[in-house]
Amino acid sequence: FPRPWAPHAPPFWDTPLNHGLNVFVGAALCITMLGLGCTVDVNHFGAHVRRPVGALLAALCQFGLLPLLAFLLALAFKLDEVAAVAVLLCGCCPGGNLSNLMSLLVDGDMNLSIIMTISSTLLALVLMPLCLWIYSWAWINTPIVQLLPLGTVTLTLCSTLIPIGLGVFIRYKYSRVADYIVKVSLWSLLVTLVVLFIMTGTMLGPQLLASIPAAVYVIAIFMPLAGYASGYGLATLFHLPPNCKRTVCLETGSQNVQLCTAILKLAFPPQFIGSMYMFPLLYALFQSAEAGIFVLIYKMYGSEMLHKRDPLDEDEDTDISYKKLKEEEMADTSYGTVKAENIIMMETTQTSL
């Protein structure tokens, strides 16, 4: 017979390991936002404020296309309220710094990439809770939506302004230190994924993968792919140049998964959210893989297109060199004429003598 006084195992959200996981997620978010602030150059920021094309694209992509896409996917796959909130929250998040690295690899417009990332992060202070409130009305009769902590979400977003501001200051004063911080923040994404998977697997064991519905895996695969496609279509609609199209494409599909994980872990009641805080990690896994495939395709076929343009560039260089050569010949000829005139004048002088 079981002894009635035997203690029951506490739920995983009330274990010391989960509390340590919360601290780790908060620290990873601070590093990410610090690195994001270190990418901002104050000297170039004024020009983007006067011509806010990047901010407009960021608002349309991150808070127009992605939340609507997440909402439609949640409805199409008939997700329960917990999974739907996790998908909606990931879709309402601003862009992440992974897009900056990917834009660099595909020869994108880095100024546009950085201004879109930082603009979407600042706009998220207002638009992210607003989008979450609007699209969650489909599940309004559920407890998790009725207790939706919009105030805590906004407070978490406001707290990210401190490391962002510190990163901007470091870039302004110590640019070399800022370069190292940006590299560390990019590696922190990989470290966060690995540590969260290991620690969550330790808490939930083999039930981890089984506790997540199959439809969530399908959405995690399809959602970043649809984000990349819709971003490229929007850039085509704006008649942007090819490098800007690639940049907007990657910015739209790449989300700040550290921010999404931190909000799910710290703002929502753990007994409601359960293991669904793993969705942004799955999203990060597939968004990185799909972006890597995009970069690989560009390196294979885009480089060939660049090589085809090289002969034209060489012809243009040849024409320029030819013009310079002609100018030099004309200069030499005029110089020789002056010498000939001097000789004639010397001969005239000698004859007069």
Residue 291 lies in a domain: yes
Q: What is the pLDDT of residues 188-198, one digit of tens each?
A: 777 777 777 77
Confidence class of residue 304 from pLDDT cuts 50, 70 and 90? low
The total domain count for the chain is 1
Residue 195 lies in a domain: yes
Residue 314 lies in a domain: no
Domain limits for position 218? 15-304
What CATH number should be reported for the domain holding residue 118?
1.20.1530.20
Residue 186 contacts residue 35 (beta carbons within 8 Å): yes
pLDDT of residue 70: 92
Residue 327 lies in a domain: no
Confidence class of residue 4 from pLDDT cuts 50, 70 and 90? low
Instruction: List for the chain the helix, strand, coil content (%; round to 5).
Output: 85, 0, 15
Residue 116 contacts residue 251 (beta carbons within 8 Å): yes
Is the pTM higher than 0.85? The answer reads no
Q: How buried is residue 253: exposed, middle or buried, by Cβ count under 10 Å (0-12/13-18/19+)? A: buried
- Mean pLDDT of the chain, nearest integer: 76
Both tokens of 98, joined, read 């992974």
pLDDT of residue 223: 92
Residue 335 lies in a domain: no
Q: What is the pLDDT of residues 254-287, one digit of tens each?
A: 888 888 888 887 777 777 776 677 788 888 888 8
